[in-house]
Amino acid sequence: MIPLVKPYMAPREELMPAIEDVLYSGYIAEGEAAWRFEDGLKDFLGNPNILAVQSGTAALHLALLLLNVESGDEVISTPMTSEPTNTAIAITGAKVVWADVDPNTGLLDPESVRKKITERTKAIMLVHYAGMVCDMDEFHKISDETGIPIIEDAAHALGAKYQGKMIGSNSRFTCFSFQAIKHMTTVDGGAIAFSDSNDATPARKLRWFGLDKKVSRLENDIARAGYKYGINNLTGIIGQIQLKHAPEVISKYISNGKYYDEALKGISGVKLVPYYEHTEPSYWLYTMKVEDRENFIKMMAGIGVTASPLHHRSDTHSVFAESRCDLPNMEEWYSKYVHIPCGWWVDEETIGRIVEAIKRGW
Ligand SMILES: *Cc1c(COP(=O)(O)O)cnc(C)c1O
């Protein structure tokens, strides 16, 4: 079966000697290899204020900590995501407040977000689900008008663009994940990008127990307890090498996605997702709505291709029971959306076969 997700690993001849060098270098903790990966990310994303961290979840948690989100606060978020977006909010003690999605895209609906704002709202969490970019024009307006900061969960959206520039410097915080199945993996890892350079210093401390790496250990004073969220040199070297291949790998996702956008137009039973103005998706998964989804999935399995909705909606978990509310557009979207494979492992022959099968019907 052609899978929906698959880790890309740089060629063995390139990766293994570099890993071996680091492992036996005598310095495997956070050091040069980690920092050079961080520099690479800054170049790639065009933002000088980026910290590499252990996971996407750690990046999200740091963003919330920097905003001092705590019990009694509210964070507006979406149920249409992978669980860590919202468990990261839950661990701060704040209440997740669900806004509804745009039924055409599955992404948060700015109008619904507006209606959910209260004096307790500390942040708006946006998820560029499956690599599609949220309606940033509208969300920036909301943030400017209300002063409520935006956290972008860009775990699915490495390489996606807003106004022609890569996601990663539009909002106060943008969080990336380099977990196994994302566009780029470092086995596990993540990054947090800041639009305000003032956030980088406290974030760096929170990343390392609350200590300041620039001050000697004996002179350090912890004013606020932090976490162990930094990366080690092994993750750093894997990241450096993976990052060299990232442009090519991501461009494969994008060219496959664009191919589907054209080839699947006007097919009965298929409703394609419109992309918001000034946004360019990076197609981590190809996403669309289909009629009779169960049979669609069976038909695709029949040609050896996985088609499936990938994520369980977050709002039905009991940990979020207190947040439950009516989300009619989410109901509509959730009953029809489906993903088909779109990544670097989907070659021309396969993509042609997928399109032909969908055209034949189900
Ligand atoms: C993968 C993912 C995360 C968390 O990333 P980890 O690196 O696994 O902690 C957060 N949000 C979304 C939407 C994800 O898919």
pTM over 0.95: yes
With a CB cutoff of 8 Å and minimum separation 6, the contacts of 212 are 204, 205, 220
Predicted local confidence at residue 240, as pLDDT: 98
Rounded to whole angstroms, the Cα distance separating 309 from 334 reads 8
**pLDDT, mean of residues 14-43:** 98
Predicted local confidence at residue 180, as pLDDT: 97
* Residues whose beta carbon lies within 6 Å of some atom of ligand 1: 55-57, 81-82, 84-85, 127, 153, 155-156, 177, 179, 190
Predicted local confidence at residue 226, as pLDDT: 97
Predicted local confidence at residue 43, as pLDDT: 98
User: Which ligand 1 atom sits nearest the alpha carbon of residue 181?
Assistant: 1
How many Å lie between the centroid of ligand 1 and the Cα of residue 153? 8
Q: What is the pLDDT of residues 242-278, one digit of tens each?
A: 999 999 999 999 999 999 999 999 999 999 999 999 9
Rounded to whole angstroms, the Cα distance separating 153 from 97 reads 16
**pLDDT, mean of residues 125-143:** 98
Predicted local confidence at residue 234, as pLDDT: 98
Whether the predicted pLDDT of 217 surpasses 90:
no
Contact by Cβ (8 Å): 167, 161? yes
**pLDDT, mean of residues 211-237:** 95
What is the full DSSP assignment across 6-56?
------HHHHHHHHHHHHTSS--SSSHHHHHHHHHHHHHHT-S-EEEES-H
How many Å lie between the centroid of ligand 1 and the Cα of residue 155? 5
How many Å lie between the centroid of ligand 1 and the Cα of residue 285? 14
Helix or strand (DSSP H, E) at 75: strand 74-77
Whether the predicted pLDDT of 279 surpasses 90:
yes
Where residue 241 falls among pLDDT bands split at 50, 70, 90?
Answer: very high
Q: What is the pLDDT of residues 53-92, one digit of tens each?
A: 999 999 999 999 999 999 999 999 999 999 999 999 999 9
Whether the predicted pLDDT of 123 surpasses 90:
yes
Residue nearest to atom 11 of ligand 1 (CA): 85
Rounded to whole angstroms, the Cα distance separating 181 from 357 reads 26
Contact by Cβ (8 Å): 229, 95? no
Among 172, 194, 245, 182, CA closest to 18: 245
What percent of the chain has pLDDT above 90? 98
Whether the predicted pLDDT of 49 surpasses 90:
yes
Predicted local confidence at residue 164, as pLDDT: 97
How many Å lie between the centroid of ligand 1 and the Cα of residue 259? 27
**pLDDT, mean of residues 319-332:** 97
Q: What is the pLDDT of residues 138-181, one digit of tens each?
A: 999 999 999 999 999 999 999 999 999 999 999 999 999 999 99
Predicted local confidence at residue 311, as pLDDT: 84
Predicted local confidence at residue 310, as pLDDT: 84
How many Å lie between the centroid of ligand 1 and the Cα of residue 244? 22
Average predicted confidence (pLDDT) for the chain = 97
Predicted local confidence at residue 212, as pLDDT: 93
